[in-house]
Amino acid sequence: MKFISSIKKDFNTMTWVLLPVAIAINVVMGQIVVLLKLPVYLDSIGTMLVGALCGPWAGALTGTLSNIIWGLAIDPNAFPWWPVAFFIGLVTGFCAKGGLFKSWWKVVITGFLVALTAAIVSTPIAVYLYGGITASGSSFITAYLLQTGQGVLQAVFSTNFLVEPVDKISTALLAFAILQGLSRRFLARFPRPENVEVETGASRTELFIAIGVVIVLVLIAAFVLVKILG
């Protein structure tokens, strides 16, 4: 039962108290972005913060409860999307555990991986629950792709894949900036402060490797996308 006890260790009192604050950050940030009329959602900053600081399962729980509370308090349309939020928290947590939350370019990779997961998870929900076209603005792209003769699954997935990375990478970068602004003493009270410790003296070659990795990831993704569409 090593697995369960490792999860339990991630849920100390600090985690339980951080959860409501993180969920509130998700909700209020989502509303500030609407107020500023920016073309992103940024409504999972809190989820990513918890995922990085308290482990994947705490992140997953934050995401799920965020959607439940969004549905309870603001808009019942949010309920069916909880699996997406669940995986956003989970993937962020695993990336942070693997050391991908320690410098800005690694955080970009985390954001990209999260976006990919979110695109994959939200596709079946959009297709089977809403019949492909949902009540969000990006559905116009889906509709266009459907008209060009794409299958529903492909059309929805490509739309998500076009929309998600911008949002998730900026969310991850913002979460990273917030973590950098917090004191070490404060971070040390959470279960996994080592996840977000900044690496000092990242060398130039490392940066080039990172840029290479990002380019390769984008190429692979583009290749997969073309395969699906073609």
Q: 19: how many CB neighbours lie within 10 A of its CB? A: 19
Window of 7-15, 85-93, 106-114, 204-212 that interacts with other proteins by CB under 8 A: 7-15
Among positions 8, 16, 124, 211, the unique one binding other proteins when judged by CB under 8 A: 16
Token pair of 81, please?
């999307």
Q: Is 73 in the site for other proteins (CB under 8 A)?
A: yes
Q: Is 219 in the site for other proteins (CB under 8 A)?
A: no
Among positions 6, 7, 21, 219, the unique one binding other proteins when judged by CB under 8 A: 21
CA dihedral of residues 134, 140, 143, 145 (deg, nearest 10): -120
Token pair of 227, please?
């395969």
Window of 63-71, 81-89, 92-100, 192-200 that interacts with other proteins by CB under 8 A: 63-71
Binding mask 93-132 for other proteins (x = CB under 8 A): ------------------------------------xxxx
Pairwise CA distance, residues 66 & 180, whole Å: 24
Instruction: Report the candidate in 99, 23, 34 with the shortest Cα–Cα distance to residue 66.
Output: 23
Instruction: Report the candidate in 53, 55, 51 with the shortest Cα–Cα distance to residue 63.
Output: 51
Pairwise CA distance, residues 66 & 58, whole Å: 12
Residues that bind other proteins (CB under 8 A): 11, 13-14, 16-21, 23-25, 27-29, 31-33, 35-38, 45, 65, 68-69, 71-77, 79-80, 129-135, 139, 142-143, 146-147, 149, 174, 178, 181-182, 186, 189
